[in-house]
Amino acid sequence: MKILKRILIAVGALVLLLAGVVVTKFYLLAPRYRAAAEMHATSTPETIERGRYLVHHVAGCVGCHSESDVSAPGDPPIAGKELQGRHFDMPGFPGDVRGPNLTPDPETGLGQWTDGEIVRAMREGVSRDGRPLFGMMPFRALSETLTDEDALAIVAYLRSLPPVHSEVGHTTLRFPISMLSRTGPRPLEKPLAAVPTDPLEHGRWLMRIGNCASCHDSHDSMHEPIPGRRLAGGDPFPMPDGSHVYAANISSDPGTGIGAYSDEDLDRVLTTGVNKAGRPLYFMPFTLYRGLTPEDRKALILALRQEAAVMNVVPQRAASVAQTQ
């Protein structure tokens, strides 16, 4: 009995120790964040236009922060609802995901935020009140791609919008996602000095700021990228009728990826949302990317050509329901 008692005491101590480690790591030491920097956006016509271009066509902010017509090719934002917030319909996901209102409304939008708080949210993943942002907000990608100048250009553009009272609420997550998401935010030590101008590096910058891998990498059940399956596609996306479409393989594989696509084929995908076989693409946000400049589209295609080939046959949505990619 004494041995059993000692074992139980040891097990209990171990459980308490592990609980203490979890509480310390996920609740006392996380999220990691710093005070928002003193930053001020300059609202010149050129700065506002740069911000508009980034928000609508490069970083694609408008896609996640606007209600959209998910039943239509390209997941287009609903006209008149741009940047007023979005409630994501994600059946089976352990939580309720909302893309907040980005207009300068003082009650439901960014009207009470400082410029530094907005920039911190974009690049460091922390809300105004210190709440960690869910990883669907691509703050990690933006931390590597947004210069101070571009970040403030986005702020200037958002400040120029008419304020719209649109309360979409906050994202709520269930355990363990709620716990794990607390480790995502981190202070930005050194922002990108300048946007690359070399065509290949600029294309890679476009891929990163557009967060292409988030949809087009192959992911496991925890949405972690599967090693060796970069841009190989296959992730399912639910449609309103209960069917699914699947992210395309955009690696350079000639049989299952884009290796057999010409540059003209790829440009058509980006501008019209139609693949090489003539099928319209769903969830692929071509309605945003078609606004890229011709030079940016060429750089993006150049960068895609340099990606390693990964053979992966992606399922198609049943033709009897609707044609997709």
252-302 pLDDT, tens per residue? 999 999 999 999 999 999 999 999 888 899 888 999 999 999 999 999 999
**Do 159 and 94 share a structural domain?**
yes
Asked whether residue 21 is assigned to any structural domain, the reply reads no
Asked whether residue 6 is assigned to any structural domain, the reply reads no
Q: Which domain holds residue 140?
A: 45-183
Q: Of 154, 183, 212, which residue is a domain's last?
A: 183
Number of residues that make up the chain? 325
pLDDT in tens, 98-107: 999 999 999 9
**Do 60 and 126 share a structural domain?**
yes
Q: Give, in order, the Cα–Cα distances in Å from 174 to each of 95, 178, 179, 220.
A: 5, 5, 8, 19
pLDDT of residue 82: 97
**Do 72 and 139 share a structural domain?**
yes
**Do 131 and 74 share a structural domain?**
yes
Q: Of 153, 183, 213, which residue is a domain's last?
A: 183
Asked whether residue 216 is assigned to any structural domain, the reply reads yes
- Number of domain units in the chain: 2
Residue 101 CA to chain centroid, in angstroms? 16
pLDDT in tens, 26-49: 554 447 778 999 999 999 999 999
pLDDT in tens, 128-163: 999 999 888 999 999 999 999 999 999 999 999 999
Asked whether residue 38 is assigned to any structural domain, the reply reads no
Asked whether residue 167 is assigned to any structural domain, the reply reads yes
> What is the pairing mode between strands 172-173 and 244-246?
unpaired
Asked whether residue 179 is assigned to any structural domain, the reply reads yes
**Do 154 and 123 share a structural domain?**
yes
Asked if 182 and 31 count as a contact pair (C-beta separation under 8 A), the reply is: yes
**Do 222 and 114 share a structural domain?**
no
Average pLDDT over residues 202-213: 97
The CATH number of the domain holding residue 251 is: 1.10.760
**Do 210 and 178 share a structural domain?**
no
**Do 52 and 133 share a structural domain?**
yes
**Do 203 and 273 share a structural domain?**
yes
**Do 224 and 151 share a structural domain?**
no
Asked whether residue 28 is assigned to any structural domain, the reply reads no
Asked whether residue 323 is assigned to any structural domain, the reply reads no
**Do 298 and 206 share a structural domain?**
yes
Q: How far apart are CA 100 and CA 167, in angstroms?
A: 8
